[in-house]
Structure 1
Amino acid sequence: MAATASETALSPFDRLMPRVYVRQILCFPSTDPNALRALKDGLAGVALDDLFTGNNLSSHIEYAQLKADNFPPAALMASGIVPADTQPPYPDPAPVFRARLSLVKGGFLLCIALHHSTTDITGFDTLLKIWASNCRAGSFRPVGFDPSWMDRRVLLEPHNTTRTPPHNIPGLLHIQTPAEASRRVTTRSSSEEWQTAIFYFPQRGLRDLKRKVNELLVSDGTAGWVSTWDALTTLLWGAVLGAELNDHDHNPTTTHLSKATSTIGFPVDFRSKLHPPLPQGYLGAAFAMTSATALRDDIISLSNDAGSSSVPAVARVATAIRASLNRVNDASVRDTLAYLNHNPDQPSIILGPPHDGISIVSWADQSVYELDWGVAVGRCDAVRLPKLPNKRYPIVLPRVPDVGDDGGGLEVIICLEKSVMERFASSGPIARYAVLRCIS
C-alpha cells in the first residue's frame, strides 16, 4: 500500500536538517562483471534506477594500492567518483538521492549521497540495509521493508496536539545569533593549508579506559556510568582543544579557548527515547542536538597527559557528556516538537543549545561492514569520504569489525590546518590511544 501524503510529509526535525548531503564512499574488492547490474537491480526496490550511474577509473586507480594505503581520502578525489549534482553549488531543486559506481583496477568504489533534509545517518543505514538485502536476494522488491519506517505522522500535527507547546524556546533549540551565523559561513582556503587525516582507535584501549573511569566513579560513590563513546568523545575533545590552543591569539574562530569552560555539540538519535519508540528503521530525521560543558582546564589537561593520572579528569568530562545525552528524552523531544509545530515560521531556529563551535559526529553504529551484498558485490572493505576542503571536526566512522585478534575499533576522520593537525596528532589522547591510518 502506498504511503499517504500525511505519512511522508517532512516533520519539524526534517525541516531543520542541514541543507547538505549525507555522503559516503564504500570500497569493495569485487571484480565481478555483474556487480553493476546487481546494484542497479537492487536499487530498483528502493528508488528509481536512473538515479544510479557508473564510470571507469581502472586505468589510473588500483584497488590494491588504495587498500595498502588505508584508502586515503586524497585518492578519492578523482573526477566522477562523487555525483556532481550532490556537490555545491547544488541544483534547484536538489536531488534527494544519487549513487555512482566507479570501477578501479581490482575493485570498485560506490559513492552514495542522500539529502540530509530527508533523513539522518540511521536512516541512511536503513537504506543501505534494504539495498544490500535486495542485491543479496536478487529481488526487485524491498526485502524486509516495513511501511512504518516511512510514517512521519507521530512527529506531525494533529498527532502531537495533546501537548501544550512551551512558552519559551525549549532547551533542544536556540535562536541563531548574528555572531554564530558569521561563524557558520565557511571560508575556503588554499588546499595546502588543510590536512585530512584518519586515525584508528583500537577497541581494547577504549574499553580499558572506560573500565578505569567507571571503577573510579564507583569508588567515589558517584552515581551513573560512562560508555566507550563518552570516553572517545572526551579524548577527541581534549585533543582538538589542545591543538587549537596555540591559535587562540590570532584566530578569531577559536576565541572560546579563553573561557573557563568549553561546550561542544553532538547529535543524539531519539528513535528509542520516545514512548512508544519510533521504529529503529525509521527513514526520516530523528536526531536532536545536545551539548556538554566541562572545565576547560580538565579538557586541556588531557591533551598533555592521557595516561593513568588523567583518569579523574576523563571521568569528570565523560560524565558531563553522559548527562547531556540523558537530556534528550521523550519529554524534551515532544516539547521541541510541540514548539516547532506551533512556531513554524522562525527561520533563525537552530537544532540544539548553543556551543562553542566544536562538534563531534558519530556514525559508529552504522552496520555497513556487516552487510552482505550478495555474490557479485560482496562486502565493503572501508567507508571513506573524499579529502575535505576545509575545517571539519571529528566524525567517528562506522565501527570496524574484529579482524583476527585485532579486536576491532573505531576510525575517526578530521580536517584541520596543517599546524593544528600536527599538534592534534602528537597530543596525549591520540599518541596513547590511536594509530594514524592516513593523512593528506
Structure 2
Amino acid sequence: MLASDDCTYYQEPLSVWNQSAPRVYICVVLCFPCDDRLRGDAARHIKQALERLARERPVFAGRLHANSSGRVTLRRSSLHDIPFQVVSSEDGTEHDYERLKEAGFPPATFVRSRFGISGTVGSNCESIPVSKVHAEFARGGLLLSIYLHHGLVDGGSLRIFLETFAAQTRDIPIDLPSEQAFSLTPRLRRTTARIRNESNFEKLVAKCPEYTILNDLSGPTQPRILNIGKSMSNIERTGKIFVFRNERLQQLREQVQRINGSVNLPSAYTSLAALAFAHITKARTKVEKYLSESEPSQTAMLWNSVNWRTRAFQHATGNYFGNAALPAVTRVPKSQLVAACSDDYKLAKLVPVVKSSIDAVDEAYVQRRLMMLSHAPDPRLVGVNYDPRMAEVLAFNTWRHFGADVEWNIPGVPVAKPDAIRRAHGGWNLGTALILPARTDSPKQELFVSLSVDAMELLCEDKGWMRWVDRVIG
C-alpha cells in the first residue's frame, strides 16, 4: 500500500501477458436508438452505473503507471473512478441516427481523430486510466464509446467489461473474472528458472519466429517498421465492411468440405479467413509497392489472433482478467494464394492450412512465448515480426462473440441490445480484417477491412471475392 498527496492506493505489477501487450487504447462504439428528450436521464444513468462498477470492480477503475525501464504497474484506489463524459462531434454537428442505421453504420463514422486517444504509459507522475467511456448523442440515437487499455484488456476481457457494465445499467451486478494477476504454478516457475540459467532473451525470441527485437523501444508487440520505403502517414488508406450472409458462408463451408473430403464441416472463421487471405493478398500485391527498396517476399502470411484461455493453463485463468491472445501465423506461397482466387479446389486446400496453424497453439506453444516474454529486459523491446506495409501480409481476427448479445437498460433507449457495435480508430489501418461483434442469431457476419485506397478498389472489383459478399458498407 502506497500513499500519495491525495489518496492511498494499492500497487501491483502487470502480469507478464499484460506487461507485453500493446500500449494503446482499443475502442468500440455501441449504437443505440434514443429519445432526444431523455438525453440527460440517459447520461446520468450511465454515469451512476460506472460509479457502481468502479466500486465493485476496482481493476476497471485502475490507473497504469510505468517506470523508466518500461515496466507498468496497476494502481487501485477507492478514490479512482471510470472517467465518463458527454462529447460532441468534432465539427459541432450531430449525426442523424436513422440515416446512420440505413447506411449500415459505415466505418468512416468511427474513424476520427477523437478516437485516437494515446495509450502511452509514461514514467512521469501522471498515470492513465484502464477504462473510460464517452457518450455522443445523435439525432434519435446514442453512440456509446468504450475505451479500454490494451495493457489490461484483450477481446475476451472486452466482453467481460461490457457484460459487467451492462449489468450495472440493469442494477443487477454479476460476478465475472476481474483480477489481472496470472499465477505461475510451481512446475512453471521451475521451468522459468531453468531457462533463465540456460538461455537468454535473444535465443528465446529466436524460438518464437513471429516475434522480433525492436531497437527503438517502440513496443511492446508493435510491428517492426523497416527504415525504407513510403511512410505509413503518406499512404492513402480506407476501410469498408463486407457483409456475408450465413447461408452463403454455409455454401462456402460445404464446398470446402466436399472438395477436401472432410468428415467435419470447416468453421466459418477458417473458411472466411482463407477466402480473405487469398483475395486481399492478390489485391495488395498488385498495387502496393511501398517497400520498393526490398525484394518482395514470395511467402504470404496470415496473422491470426488466437485466444489460448481454453488451450493452456486453465487452472491459472479462472479469475484472470487480462490479455490471453497470441499470434499464429499461416505461411503460404504467394503464387498459391493468387491461384486460389480463381480455383475453388485450391481455395479449399487453404482452409486446413489455416486451421493447422491455429491448432498449433497448445500449452507448449503458449509456455514457450511466456518464457520469452518473461525474460525481456524491457517489454518495449518485444515486437511482432512484420511490417504492415508488406503487401503479402494480412492480420485477421474475430470479435464476433464479444458483447452484441449483452442486454442494457438505459433511459430513453427503447431496445435492450445495440443495433450495431463498431470498432473505432483515430485513423485507418493497413492490411487488417476484423469480424465485428454480432448477435448469436444474426443472419450475417460483418468483416471490417482496412487497406490502401488502391487495393480496396481492386478488391471491390474482384468478382471472385464479391460473389460471396452480400453487401458492402462504406
TM-score by length of 1: 0.81
Alignment partner for residue 27 of structure 2, among 23, 27, 31?
Answer: 23
Question: Following superposition of structure 1 onto structure 2, how do residues 221-240 of structure 1 map, counting pairs within 5 Å?
Answer: 226-240=266-280
Alignment partner for residue 436 of structure 2, among 398, 414, 424?
Answer: 398
| Partner in structure 1 of residue 84 of structure 2 | 52
Alignment partner for residue 283 of structure 2, among 243, 255, 267?
Answer: 243
1:152 counterpart = 2:167: no
The code of the aligned residue for 1:152 comes to A
Change (3 A) 1:161 1:42: same
| Partner in structure 1 of residue 405 of structure 2 | 370
Change (3 A) 1:393 1:117: same
Whole-angstrom distance in 2 between the partners of 1:353 and 1:437: 29
The code of the aligned residue for 1:119 comes to V
Whole-angstrom distance in 2 between the partners of 1:254 and 1:399: 39
1:161 counterpart = 2:189: yes
| Partner in structure 2 of residue 40 of structure 1 | 47
Task: Tell me by how many angstroms 1:255 deviates.
Answer: 6.0
| Partner in structure 2 of residue 412 of structure 1 | 447
| Partner in structure 2 of residue 174 of structure 1 | 211
Change (3 A) 1:349 1:60: closer
Whole-angstrom distance in 1 between the partners of 2:226 and 2:28: 28
| Partner in structure 2 of residue 195 of structure 1 | 238
For residues 278-319 of structure 1, the C-alpha deviation after alignment (integer angstroms, 9 at most, x for no partner) is 55773211111110011222211233x2xxx41x21232211
1:12 counterpart = 2:25: no
Task: Tell me by how many angstroms 1:158 deviates.
Answer: 6.8
Whole-angstrom distance in 1 between the partners of 2:394 and 2:315: 26
Task: Tell me by how many angstroms 1:186 deviates.
Answer: 5.9
Task: Tell me by how many angstroms 1:63 deviates.
Answer: 0.6
Whole-angstrom distance in 2 between the partners of 1:116 and 1:253: 33
Provide structure 2 residue ranges, at least 5 long, that are not aligned to the other structure. Answer: 1-8, 55-60, 62-79, 216-222
| Partner in structure 2 of residue 252 of structure 1 | 291
**Alpha-carbon contact 2:242-2:469 (below 8 Å) kept:** yes
Whole-angstrom distance in 2 between the partners of 1:97 and 1:218: 48
Whole-angstrom distance in 2 between the partners of 1:349 and 1:78: 29
Whole-angstrom distance in 1 between the partners of 2:421 and 2:376: 39
CA RMSD of aligned residues (A): 3.5
Secondary structure at the residue paired with 2:404?
helix
After superposing the two structures, state which structure 1 stretch, 53-62 or 326-335, moved more. 53-62
**Paired-residue identity, %:** 19
Whole-angstrom distance in 2 between the partners of 1:353 and 1:78: 26
Secondary structure at the residue paired with 1:366?
coil
For residues 362-395 of structure 1, the C-alpha deviation after alignment (integer angstroms, 9 at most, x for no partner) is 2333332211112524321112245763443233
Matched pairs, number: 411
Secondary structure at the residue paired with 2:432?
strand
Alignment partner for residue 116 of structure 1, among 120, 133, 150?
Answer: 150
Whole-angstrom distance in 2 between the partners of 1:12 and 1:225: 37
Change (3 A) 1:197 1:393: same
**Alpha-carbon contact 1:188-1:390 (below 8 Å) kept:** no
**Alpha-carbon contact 2:401-2:439 (below 8 Å) kept:** no
**Alpha-carbon contact 2:330-2:353 (below 8 Å) kept:** yes
Whole-angstrom distance in 2 between the partners of 1:283 and 1:275: 14
Change (3 A) 1:230 1:25: same
After superposing the two structures, state which structure 1 stretch, 327-336 or 347-356, moved more. 347-356
**Alpha-carbon contact 2:256-2:266 (below 8 Å) kept:** yes
Change (3 A) 1:353 1:290: farther
Whole-angstrom distance in 2 between the partners of 1:119 and 1:433: 33
**Alpha-carbon contact 2:45-2:169 (below 8 Å) kept:** yes
Change (3 A) 1:76 1:315: closer
Whole-angstrom distance in 2 between the partners of 1:414 and 1:183: 26
Secondary structure at the residue paired with 1:181?
coil
Change (3 A) 1:253 1:239: farther
Whole-angstrom distance in 2 between the partners of 1:338 and 1:88: 26
For residues 164-187 of structure 1, the C-alpha deviation after alignment (integer angstroms, 9 at most, x for no partner) is 438442336532377933279963
Whole-angstrom distance in 1 between the partners of 2:118 and 2:379: 27
Whole-angstrom distance in 2 between the partners of 1:420 and 1:302: 18
Whole-angstrom distance in 2 between the partners of 1:69 and 1:274: 42
**Alpha-carbon contact 2:82-2:131 (below 8 Å) kept:** no
Question: Following superposition of structure 1 onto structure 2, how do residues 66-215 of structure 1 map, counting pairs within 5 Å?
Answer: 66-76=100-110, 82=115, 86-87=117-118, 93-136=127-170, 138=171, 143-146=173-176, 148-154=177-183, 156=184, 160-163=188-191, 164-165=194-195, 167=199, 168-169=203-204, 170-171=207-208, 174-176=211-213, 180-182=224-226, 187-189=232-234, 193-215=236-258
For residues 392-432 of structure 1, the C-alpha deviation after alignment (integer angstroms, 9 at most, x for no partner) is 323323343377xxx62221222223221110112245311
Secondary structure at the residue paired with 1:153?
coil
Whole-angstrom distance in 2 between the partners of 1:158 and 1:53: 45
